[in-house]
Structure 1
Amino acid sequence: MPPTGDNDPELLYTRWGRTAAHRHTLVNVNEFIGLNGATPLTSIVGFDPWRLYPDVMHILHLAVIPDVVVSVFLEYTDDESIFSGRKRDDRLEELWQLYRSWCEDGNIVERAQRKLFSTAILKNNQYVEISQKVMNATACRYMIFFLAVLGEMALQKLGPQASNLHYWIAGVCWAFASMERIMLHGDRFLNRFDCERFYNDYLVMRGGYNHLAQRALSLQLPRWHCRPKLHQWEHAVLDYLPRNPRYTSNFLGEDFVRRAKALALRSHANWMSRHVLLRYVLQFCLARRE
């Protein structure tokens, strides 16, 4: 069950779930305008903050999941218990071969680049940000399922020597894969059974993730980053179901944020918000024009 009490400031929103205190502090329209100011978006008839749907691509596939990928790869190559090799790079090479074989067996074209499996990117002394040039959002979606396979493989290899660490990792990876599968196979609105599964998967993921983050902090390891987008995913799960998050994802353009900022810089100040909003509306709605 989700924990109760005050939040741990080191881990941001560690109190999570339907009973979390912060769930009673969400804003209405007037509070939203008071905080952010009036914009062309807020002037639209029927505007409500609850209609600002989460973009699962930018929350999960370009932020939270890459954090998980980095953390899992580092955890599994800290020693030779799972992958052999004197150096971390040697163990990462074996991990890369496993990933490449998995992609080839599944005819997966969108893959993470080889350099992701190296200490040139996987630093052990800082939080790592993975560039979209190394692993784009589509490759990340496939990587989620690879992590689930990897977690199960690690438990089988370790057998009775598997610790809570390995069960937490496997649980987090399995839960992310299960949620992704529900989104991919579900319609625009999920049925009651899938909604309950989705919520339970989130509890499994978040519980394991918090254990891993607390362990990393106690060991002073920059892993299992509890970034605000992890909390945004909670709102996507708890506040927007039965709406399938996949249908509010901006997969038409992963680089939309950069292009929107460039457009804003070129626009006259009086029309900047309208130009950016129009670009977003066109890009997002064209896919559903039929």
Structure 2
Amino acid sequence: MGEESDSDDEEVESCWNALCSGFKLCSGNCELGKVLLASGLQMASVALPETFVFALLRARIWGNNMSSYMAYAAIGINSVAVIFGGPFGRFSDCVDRRLAAAVFAIGTFAPTWSLLIFGHTTAKALWISTVIKVVGSYGLTSNVMLALINDVTPAEDREEAVGAYYAANNLMSLTMTGIPVLLVLILRVVPNVPTIFLIAQVVLSGLCLLLLSSVRIKSNERPEQEDGSSDSESGLVKSQRLCCKPSAAREVPQSGSCVSAMSHRMRRIARQFIMPVRLACGNRRLRRLWCCGFMLM
């Protein structure tokens, strides 16, 4: 019994130390705190209408076909996320990361915004929102918020910042979704009015975009890759940076032929999808992360 109590005390102490360290990190880096709060608001503003608006709307309109329609939508969402994840990641490397994070967030907010435009009681509005949700999933696999955290955090604190990122997301999801579920669906002290949650989503999404616009990145240069990386990885990263330059983006074949111009555009589009695969093939640690993520899924 004494050994068990000692181990419990050590676990509590380690958790408390980790919590204090996370608060100290965020208090010393205000930009990190802004990104963590914006990421949590982004997740909460997506989960809130999904729980109180979309679930009821799908059950009422789709009825017995809800499972099949949701399966088709999930296939479309995953396909768009996988196909456009690499190009969107390269887009976030080429532009201001705050802009890329805002574009990603808008893609997740748009389905709920469409209900405010087309109504939240008709089948037409539900189908439009579903299509927008599929199209707006282009950045789900890019993890641009985590990349923005790396941009605003010193290299020695990034490992702890990643843990704070996931902790903040889970805390915000629990707070912004769990408390309304308790008050509305369990205790029934608050009426379940869809308009209230749609307006709340607009407020939360506006706060998220406002926080992203207020983030200040001290250095314009992106973090360089760590020492010990392979030469192939270095070459691929350099080629990616060259592709991101505006002069390379505006390069047009000199022949003037429509066929050659079309083939040039097709090669550029194909490179958007091939470069992430080549990068993984040339980076042993990235391959391991891919395999671990696949097994976890």
What is the TM-score of this pair, normalised by structure 1?
Answer: 0.27
TM-score (norm 2): 0.26
**Over alpha carbons, which structure has the higher Rg?**
2
Quick check: which one's helix share is greater? 2
